Amino acid sequence: MKTKDKRKPSGYIGFAVLIILFIASIVIVPRVSQSGDMLIIGNTRLPMSAFAGVMSTMANLCIILLVVFYGKTGFIAAMILLIGQTPIWARNLIVTQQMGSLPGIFSTILTLIAIIVIRSRGRKIDQFQEEKVEQLIRQREQSEHLFEQTALALVTAIDAKDEYSHGHSMRVAEYARRIAEEMGKSEEECQKIYYAGLLHDVGKIGISDAIITKKGKLTPEEYEEIKRHPVLSNQILSSIRDYPYISIGAHYHHERYDGKGYPDGLKGEDIPEIARIISVADAYDAMSSNRSYRKAIPQQIIREEIVKGAGTQFDPEIAMIMRHLIDLDGEYRMKERETVRELAGDNEMHCGEYRSEISTGIVLTHTPTRIHLSYRDEEPGDGQTAPAIILFDSLDSRVHEDEETIRTLNYTEYCEIWLNGETVSHEIRAVRTDVKENAPAAAKANGRTVYDLEAVKCRDHVLISIRDGSRTTEVTVALPDSSRYAYIALTGKHCYIGDVHIEKAEEAVPDSYIPRIAEEISYIDGPVGDLPNVQVDGVRSAASESVPVKDKLLITFHAMSLPTARLIWHCPYIVLFHSADGRVNGEGYREYALIRLDGENWENDNHIPTQIIVNREESFESWDAWKQKNKEGFDCAVLITRRGNKILVSTKNLGLSVTSITVIPEELLNEDTPVFAALTGDQCALTNIRIRESNVE
């Protein structure tokens, strides 16, 4: 390992000054030594030649300083400068026979010897320092490794007290570190927050096992006992004086932003930041992990709980970062890892009774999903043995049969499709089966039948094509509406399903790909205003026509979330943008801001600063009441004001006041650049859209 030379006094400037002084000295020395001029200082007369030695000494001093302060680079420069004098000395001795230059030659030789000795000594010192630094780094790494291993052993022992908290502390530590990274913390700060998260529950070692492992609801006395663990954590960890942040994080991670937490009832930024970070990470892992009384909560519901807790339970800024991490985690990897049968990872199933074995669901989209599989009977006789598909929707992409889970995860089973073409309908509007005979049935290889399936969803229709070599069966299903998701899961009855391979097609299909068997359900049959009504079935799946924002623009409309809407952000959004044709996602599209009526916002790809101010007025009851009123429908007004490159958007709805201030950089916007506004959203219907423009007062 090489260390940087810290002896340089002033970088390149000092280096250049020393070289200039040396050159000036050796140029002046010959002239001064041969000068007959006298220098009068008071009553004293000094010959100019007397200063030759001074200038020569200054030149040698510059050479030595180069080597001392600039290491290898200075040594090379000094050698070049000294050797560069050789022709001058040779000329003086041989050509002009100036013996007076001999002292200068001896002085140069002595200086040369001196800098070689200094450089040699300096290299040994540098080598010694590097070895010491490497030794210290190794010792520090060993200490940190020992500390981490000890901490891991401790938290593993604590987590082992309850089978449902296994790995909890390590996951909280990792989530806390990721939050810190998003906040722009240094690597050292992130590491501190990681260790604080790792040891945040160490105080549970002092809580009775009977309380920790209790499967039912805690009594008030037991809850008071469990609330002691932050104080116990602080008492245990405060003895680690070299790492005070660890005890701080453990002591205050159950405080609430609104001051209703414990143990000290701290409020807002009085709660140490490290504890506010761990609080969010801890809550996230608690919700995303299995418990004795419930399964892990789906990602969307966790996100909604984070939204609800912002400003009450959680620091709103840290809650926003956690929501952003959830949004980035499209495959729900930030959760407790468990053994789950994945079609792509475990490509065989042994099905006994019907639905005794069911795969995880595969989401269907405009891009066709292709599944190859083989099957064989596993029970002789005349009973039905065949593979089947379950078509459904669920927040966790899995099939459920328990009533409480069905209600919690909004599980909807559309239909069951046997691969022989039989269907069992549940919650669908229509189904049609078309069979095309291809060729005589091929002999089964090793008693197996090979199937190739293709499934695609276009708005409110699903098309599943089943080919077995002898015929192609196409099953078209009309879903309840176009805002729902659709998943397929494999199952069967008394059969083996193997050789499963799943892939996505390269290109999406248009909406017209599936012939309609039922009319599309519309929720926008109400009054039409200045702009056509818009139904947004998914996240920004549709948008209204745009309106240019000149000075002051008032947009009024009626909003209603769709029957399938179940989350806070299933509401209208306002988008500010620019494009050449004035259309959302049009040519040269650049988005400036996206404002949701629930007050959410995240920095866009252009990193244009947008400040969101959200206030809950006295009329705001709760988020659940807010969602219910969205479903009932309400009239909304949005005021957009533009002053140069500053755009203000404000709206008040159902007790929630939302104001956004967007400042667009001048290089992206000038007075002549048009800015457009449009309405979009997620699972909502927007009708009676009216526009009123005026000049800024």
Residue 163 above 80 pLDDT?
A: no
Q: Angle at the Cα of 381 (from 376 to 384), degrees rounded to 5?
A: 65
pLDDT score recorded for residue 535: 95
Give percent above pLDDT 70 in the chain. 83
Average pLDDT, the chain: 84
Instruction: Tell me the pLDDT tens digit for each residue of 444-459.
Output: 556 788 999 999 999 9
Residue 442 clears pLDDT 60, i.e. is over it:
no
Tokens 């404000």, residue located: 650
Q: How many residues are present in the chain?
A: 697
Top pLDDT among 349 and 265 is at 265
Single-letter amino acid code for the residue at 285: D
Q: Which carries the bigger pLDDT value, residue 67 or residue 501?
A: 501
482-498 confidence digits (pLDDT tens): 888 899 999 999 888 98
Average pLDDT over residues 63-86: 81
In the numeric block, which tokens belong to residue 268? Answer: 């807002």
User: Got the DSSP string for 123-186?
Assistant: HHHHHHHHHHHHHHHHHHHHHHHHHHHHHHHHHHHHHTTSGGGTTHHHHHHHHHHHHHHHTT--
At 126 the pLDDT is 76
Q: 487, 396 in Cβ contact below 8 A?
A: no
Calpha distance 269→263 (Å, rounded): 16
pLDDT value at 670 more than 80: no
Cα 158 to chain center, whole Å? 29
Cα radius of gyration rounded to whole Å, the chain: 38
Residues 371-424: tens digit of each pLDDT? 999 988 876 555 678 899 999 998 888 899 888 888 888 899 999 999 988 999
The structure tokens listed for 441 are 């049935």
How many CB atoms sit inside 10 A of residue 636's CB? 21
Confidence at 18, pLDDT banded by 50, 70, 90: confident
Of the candidates 283, 297, 312, the residue with the CA atom closest to the CA atom of residue 197 = 283
Give pLDDT, residue 133: 80
pLDDT at 276 over 90: yes
Domain with CATH 1.10.3210.10 in the chain: 160-328
Classify residue 35 by its DSSP letter. Answer: -
Report the pLDDT value the prediction gives residue 179, as an integer from 0 to 100.
95
Residues 89-148: tens digit of each pLDDT: 666 555 555 555 555 666 777 777 888 888 787 777 778 778 788 877 777 777 666 667
Question: Strands across the sheet with 634-643, in order?
Answer: 534-536, 684-694, 552-561, 634-643, 646-653, 656-663, 610-616
Average pLDDT for 514-540: 93
pLDDT, one tens digit per residue, over 590-602 is: 999 999 999 886 6
Mean pLDDT (whole number) for 665-669: 80
How far, in Å, CA of 415 to CA of 490, rounded?
Answer: 13
Section 21-33 average pLDDT: 74
**Candidate CATH numbers 3.40.630, 2.40.50, 2.40.160, 2.60.120; the one for domain 534-694:** 2.60.120
Does 340 or 324 have the greater pLDDT score?
324
Q: Which stretch of 68-82, 333-347, 545-559 has the lowest confidence by average pLDDT?
A: 333-347
Closest CA to 399 of 427, 358, 428: 358
Amino acid at site 683 = Q
CA-to-CA distance for 427 and 421, rounded, in angstroms?
18
Residue 662's DSSP bridge partners are 610, 647
Using one digit for the tens of pLDDT, what is the confidence trace for 297-310? Answer: 888 889 999 999 99
Residue 334 has pLDDT above 70, yes or no: no
Q: What is the mean pLDDT of residues 251-275?
A: 94
Question: Residue 344: what pLDDT?
Answer: 41
Rounded distance between C-alpha atoms, residue 371 and residue 20, angstroms: 78
Give the predicted TM-score (pTM) of the model: 0.66
What span, in angstroms and rounded, lies between the C-alpha atoms of 614 and 636?
Answer: 16
Q: How far is CA 593 from CA 543, 604, 678, in A?
A: 15, 7, 11
Q: Are 465 and 481 in contact (CB under 8 A)?
A: no
pLDDT tier at 57, thresholds 50, 70, 90:
confident
User: What are the tens digits of pLDDT across the range 193-211?
Assistant: 998 998 898 888 888 888 8
Region 568-592: mean pLDDT is 92
Give the mean model confidence (pLDDT) for residues 179-195. Answer: 92
CB 312 within 8 A of CB 259: no
Range(s) within the chain of domains with CATH label 2.60.120: 349-513, 534-694
Please give the Cα distance from 118 to 112 (Å, whole number). Answer: 10
For 648, the 3-state DSSP assignment is strand
pLDDT at 7 over 70: no
Structure tokens, 226: 């469990």
Instruction: Give the count of beta carbons closer than 10 Å to the beta carbon of residue 617.
Output: 10
Architecture of domain 349-513: Sandwich (2.60)
Q: Which CATH number fits domain 160-328: 2.40.50.140, 1.10.3210.10, 2.130.10.10, 3.40.50.300?
A: 1.10.3210.10
For position 606, what pLDDT does the model report?
57
Confidence at residue 80, expressed as pLDDT on a 0 to 100 scale = 84
Tell me, what's the pLDDT at 178? 94
